[in-house]
Amino acid sequence: LSRGKSNALNGQLITELDDMLKNISADDNIGGVILTGTAPFFSAGLDLVELYNYNEEEAKDFWKLFLNFTANLVAFKKPIVAAISGHSPAGGCVLALACDYRIMAEGQYIIGLNEVPVGIIVPNSIFQMYAFWLGKAEATRSLLTGKLYNPEEALKVGLVDELVKNESLLTAAERKIKKFMELESNTWSQSKLNIREELIATVSADQSASLEKMLAQWWSPATRHILKTIIESLQRK
């Protein structure tokens, strides 16, 4: 992930990531993937500044693209390790949740799903990804308050699997991906898909109804006001 200073996700970056996944999936010479960013961010999530200025058709196309990419990432058959190089709220956290193992850099960073305080409705598919790792009770409490965890808290609740110093992040990720790749590849992949069978079905299902609710809220005066305030704050920094 390398886009601007915070690796914010827009349509172009998501399309590039999705194309990359498809190419890697079809390439027998690549056994696994490490997904990382550039410190002090993994990804700040969706590019709200760009999204805010979309018209209705552009916004709908973007959310469909993002949800479809999320489904593809969850169903990716090869090992994928997240090397979380810094802050990872909202959409950044979603990327990490789709991975098989998450290693986070130590430091004053945050990770979690904070969409609700921003005025964005969380679809069931994203909640189920959260609950897959945190359990439904913790995921519910966290999501409905928009809680952002520090690295130690994230490790404790199972949101990340390992903490290391930033300079050791890629080394730790490489060590983990190699351990996955030492195992017989088809056995590993089919086991992963079996374990994720219900989750894959949920994120791959038709989400038209959820999308309509999300978009209705996205265009509501209340959410537009929240987003405008956030964007103005970001632009002052």
Could you report the per-residue pLDDT of 138-157, keeping only the tens digit for each?
999 999 999 999 999 999 99
Averaged pLDDT for residues 118-133: 96
Collapsing DSSP states into helix, strand and coil, what is residue 219? coil
Q: Is residue 228 part of a domain?
A: yes
Rounded to 10 degrees, the C-alpha dihedral 30/23/203/112 comes to 70
CA 27 remoteness from chain centre = 24
Look at residue 139 in the predicted model and tell me its pLDDT.
98
pLDDT tens-digit series, residues 166-185: 999 999 999 999 999 999 99
- The number of folded domains in the chain is 1
pLDDT for residue 187 is more than 60: yes
Q: Is residue 168 part of a domain?
A: yes
pLDDT band at 235 (very low <50, low <70, confident <90, very high): confident
Burial (Cβ within 10 Å: 0-12, 13-18, ≥19) of residue 156: exposed
Averaged pLDDT for residues 211-224: 96
73-82: buried (b, 16+ CB within 10 Å) or exposed (e) per residue? bbbbebbbbb
Q: Is residue 4 part of a domain?
A: no
- The C-alpha angle 48, 122, 154, rounded to 5 degrees, equals 85
Look at residue 3 in the predicted model and tell me its pLDDT.
52
Q: Is residue 3 part of a domain?
A: no
Q: Is residue 6 part of a domain?
A: no
Strands of the sheet with 162-164, listed across from one edge: 33-36, 80-84, 101-105, 162-164
Look at residue 101 in the predicted model and tell me its pLDDT.
98
